[in-house]
A and B are shown apart, each in its own frame.
Chain A
Amino acid sequence: MDNDAFLPQIARIDAVRDETPDTKTFTLRFREPEDSKAFRFLPGQFVELPVFGYGEAPFCIASSPTRPDTFETTIRRTGSLTDALHVLGPGAEVGIRGPFGNGFDVEGARGKDLLFVAGGIGLPPLRSLIRNVLDERDGFRSVTILYGARTPVDLVYKDELKEWETASGVEFHVTVDNTLPGWTGNVGMVPILFTKTTLRPESTIAYVCGPPIMIKFVVQDLFMRGFREESVISTLERMMQCGIGKCNHCAIGHRYVCRDGPVFNFKQIRELIE
């Protein structure tokens, strides 16, 4: 009972990296060493991040628990809180509450083929699992990453994408909806990338994250190709506040996105009662 869920820990911004004109990745390190030691998270979990004076918002952890001293979160500017966050630099202090949520079932993915399909700002939540998998590469079978964004400028983790392109043990394809001068890669929506790879529905777990409309088309495609509902995983978004399944903002039926999610498979999603 000493874990007071509403009491934030203090973290310092270690580094800030621009991903796109409106998105940055913040590397955070807890100020107190005991907070750092105690912070154990699973890929797919999120934190509530207060920017004091501006409020608090949930952000998924975009780095892997295999690299524990710091963690990363990739945040797009959408309102006053993220505006305030975006002007902060290394050394600035923010709060962290969490980690919250169920996270991805990493153990359940061992020995399987893994397919990651992401659109735009949907890549950060998957990245925590991707990095975890790549850090323990031997535990998993094939790893295929399909990623798309509106334009080349909107791709996040641009340097990392290059790594994935050339890494052995990873099959990576990227596309943009609208091209720009200098882009020599695929042009088209994410589902076109299915033609670039061989999918094995019986042995693959698919992780899909991105704008709702993208998820809808991708998942339809996957089901048509024979993927089972339980093998297609996504993260749900809702207004969340407490993070501990109490305030009821994120309740869908009797499930709480902050506690029973945000990671759900599509069978669970179908069974959710609004």
Chain B
Amino acid sequence: MKMQPHVLTIRKRDATKWLAKLLESRDVIAPALGPCGEVLFSKVDSPEQVLWDFENPLPPPKQFVLPQTDPIVRIQQDNHRTEVAPIYDDRQRVLFNVRPCDARGIAFLTQMHEMEPADASYLRRAEKLTVISLACNTPCRLGFCVCSDSGPFLSAGHDIQLTDLGEKYLAEIGTAKGEGAVSDAAGLFDAATEDEVVRRKELEAEARGHFGEETCHFASAMRRVSTRRVADALWERMSDWCLECGACNFICPTCYCFSVKDRGCNGTWTRCRTWDSCQYAAFTLEASGHNPRAQPGERMRRRFFHKVSAQYYVRDGATGCVGCGRCIKVCLGTTDMPAVVAAIRKGAWHGQ
């Protein structure tokens, strides 16, 4: 249901009160200081734990909508009689202070799982999740969110988008869920003034300015990938620089490939969905031993078709990439999204 977005503000010092209100009725997951001094998305116990000035955590908040090991069905077999029951995660959650790229990522995952036939277990969890994102006044070093319309500010699709105005946070309410997250604390919010709205637009323009003159390369890469104009030999050469760790899939806010495996023994099993990676050789390995994507170059080609092709763009209404830059950090090799997209455009890798 498309709502008329309405725009509020909250004084910075009242933000902790708002968080305290949210904590009364839901799990709040936010960037917080974790072990080894790293900032991680964690379930917080108190508003003070929520960070407002932080570098985007390396693990995205994907684990909270799509855990790496996700129990979905309970199976019990006694005396030849089998009973099954779905396992639903019905917790009310708020993802607080995620960046626009990660908010887009969650929205993308929800869209994928809504596609017919829909995936009830994911959607039940997503139904109970409200995403409150914090726009990026200062974009991160490695990000390229402008290339896929996933930042540094979102224009649509957000439950609530916060902007740091200095003394206050602007809150753009985009959905009924977003409405629901402020209604209990309505007294803490004021209607935004025209100046404040103008300031938010200025901040967005400044943030976009950080990305400089670089034009985005997805479009030309998309053309080549979609019409099979990328030589097999190029995929083969690039795949020599990939170590098939699957990190790109696991870290990506929009990747969701999985396997379904039953865990347990002796009459009691739990069916789990588990993360999987199209970069693993066994991803397409058939029982007969035949593997249609036996070569790493073929698997890499598949990955980038899914992420960057026009065919998928048309199907999904979006590129499978939010420009968060995480794959650059986690790639064991040197085949992250920007590097491969550049190679696709140029038709060459390392100058060849």
Contact yes or no, B284 A238, CB < 8 A: yes
Given contacts A7-B73, A248-B278, A254-B309, contact A52 B262 (CB under 8 A): yes
A198 at interface, CB cutoff 8 A: no
A159 lies within 8 A of chain B by Cβ: no
**B80–A242 touching, CB < 8 Å:** no
- The answer to whether A93 touches B260 (Cβ under 8 A) is no
Tell me which of B86, B261, B278, B309 contacts A7 (CB under 8 A).
Answer: B86
Bound together, the chains give a CA A7 to CA B262 distance in angstroms of 12
Q: Looking at the assembled complex, report how far the CB atom of A209 sits from the nearest CB atom of chain B, in whole angstroms.
A: 15
Contact of B287 among A1, A6, A79, A249 (CB under 8 A): A79
Q: Assess whether A274 is in contact with B292, with CB atoms less than 8 Å apart.
A: yes
**Residue A56 CB within 8 A of the other chain:** yes
Q: Are B260 and A242 in contact (CB under 8 A)?
A: yes
Give the number of chain A interface residues (Cβ < 8 Å).
39
Of B109-117, B148-156, B184-192, B199-207, the one with at least 4 CB within 8 A of chain A:
B109-117
- In the complex, whether A151 has a CB less than 8 A from a CB of chain B is no
Total A-B Cβ pairs within 8 A = 123
Report A1-28 residues with CB < 8 Å from chain B CB. Answer: 1-8, 10
Chain A window 19-60, contacts with chain B (Cβ cutoff 8 Å), 1 for yes, 0 for no: 000000000000000000000000000000010110111000
Asked whether A10 lies within 8 Å of B82 as measured between CB atoms, the reply is yes
Interface residue total, chain B, C-beta cutoff 8 A: 53
Judging by beta carbons under 8 Å apart, are A238 and B286 in contact? Answer: yes
Q: Is the CB of A91 within 8 A of B80?
A: yes
Q: A240-260 toward B: CB 8 Å interface, digit per residue (1/0)?
A: 011011111101111000010
Interface string of B91-129 (1 = CB under 8 A from A): 000000000000000000000110101111101100000
Q: Contacts A6-B72, A238-B284, A254-B311 hold; do A246 and B120 have CB atoms under 8 A apart?
A: no
A231 to chain B: closest CB distance in Å? 25
Q: Which of A4, A50, A53 contacts B86 (CB 8 A)?
A: A4
Q: Is the CB of A249 within 8 A of B284?
A: yes
Majority SS of interface residues in chain B? mixed
CB <8 Å contact, A78 and B228: no
Distance, CA A50 to CA B261, complexed state (A): 10
| Residues on B with beta carbons closer than 8 Å to the beta carbon of A259 | 117
Residue of A nearest to B291 (CB): A239
Q: Decide: A50 and B80 in contact? CB cutoff 8 A.
A: no
A249 and B259 contact, Cβ closer than 8 Å, known pairs A53-B269, A93-B80, A239-B285: yes
Q: Is A92 an interface residue (CB 8 A)?
A: yes
Question: CA–CA, A95 to B73, complex, Å?
Answer: 12
Determine whether A237 belongs to the interface, using a CB cutoff of 8 Å to chain B: yes
Which A residues contact B (CB, under 8 angstroms)?
1-8, 10, 50, 52-53, 55-57, 78-79, 91-93, 95, 237-239, 241-242, 244-249, 251-254, 259, 273-274
Contacts A3-B120, A6-B121, A254-B306 supplied; 12 other A-B pairs, CB < 8 Å: A1-B123, A5-B117, A5-B119, A6-B260, A52-B77, A53-B262, A56-B262, A239-B287, A246-B113, A247-B257, A249-B259, A251-B302
Q: Which B residues have a C-beta under 8 Å from some C-beta of A?
A: 72-73, 75, 77, 80-86, 112-113, 115, 117-121, 123-124, 228, 256-262, 264-265, 269, 271, 273, 276, 278, 283-288, 292-293, 298, 301-302, 305-306, 309, 311-312, 315
Which 6 A-B residue pairs are closest in the complex by CB-CB distance?
Answer: A254-B311, A248-B257, A244-B117, A4-B120, A93-B82, A4-B86
